[in-house]
Amino acid sequence: MNRVISDRERCAAGRSVLVFAALAAVLLLMLPAPARAQSASASQVMAVESGLCVYGSATVTTAWPNGASGLPLFFRASTTVSAYSSCPTATLAKQYAPACQWPWDTGCVPYIPKQTPWTARTMPAGWMAILQQTYLIVNGTPQYCSTPLSTWQYSPVAEATMTSSSASTAMCGSGNYELYTWVYVWDGANWQGGGFSVGSLYVEMF
């Protein structure tokens, strides 16, 4: 014979279900969170001269050793510099656009999407250069920390596009790190180009 359940028993049973649900939620919150890579990227037309346009792009992504989960322990950065003999869109924009908003900027041209026809220009070996530097953000101000590539990287062969990559840990302690990159192309008499900020990512110290 089925037993009739009183209202009081129903309330008690309901409370038990709620308690178990709450405990399950707490246990789920205590489990390690899956690793989520952060990434940032930027690109700039750095110089527009007669017969030479210098275009730079860079990406930085946080990472974990051996695929482990948890807080990011280092980041990977990649910078590319490209030379063009014709970039009509950039030439037009330079006439009207203000200089990049960056404390150490020397007057680069703000981001302009590449549009056809842009004509690639192959430069001799050693005529393209890339540098990366990391800054720790302290009270909202970037403070120099390290140079992941350790020194300027130059194009080893004749090419129109050169890419350099690096990896770095939180060498100056846990916190938000910002990558700055410089891209230059030698025009036969002077280095044409400049630097720009890629973005800020959090990295945990080992």
| Residue that wins the pLDDT comparison between 121 and 72 | 121
Residue bearing tokens 């390690």: 32
Q: Which residues does residue 195 pair with via DSSP β-bridges, in sequence order?
A: 182
**Distances from the Cα of 184 to the Cα of 37, 89, 154, angstroms:** 30, 20, 9
Task: State the number of CA atoms in the 13 A half-sphere of 72 facing the CB.
Answer: 21
Sign of CA dihedral 68, 148, 174, 196: negative
CA distance 122 to 196: 23
- What average pLDDT does this structure show over 166-170? 84
Q: Give the DSSP letter of residue 157.
A: S
Chain centre to alpha carbon of residue 167: 12
Report which listed range, 2-11, 105-114, 177-186, is most confident.
Answer: 177-186
CB neighbourhood size of 107 (10 A): 11
Backbone angles phi, psi at 160, to 5 degrees: -100, -20
Cβ contact 41:199 at 8 Å:
yes
**pLDDT-based confidence at 172, cuts 50/70/90?**
confident
Domains, in order of start, for the chain:
39-203 (2.60.40)
Position 124 pLDDT exceeds 80:
yes
Alpha-carbon dihedral of residues 52, 43, 118, 51, nearest 10 degrees? -10
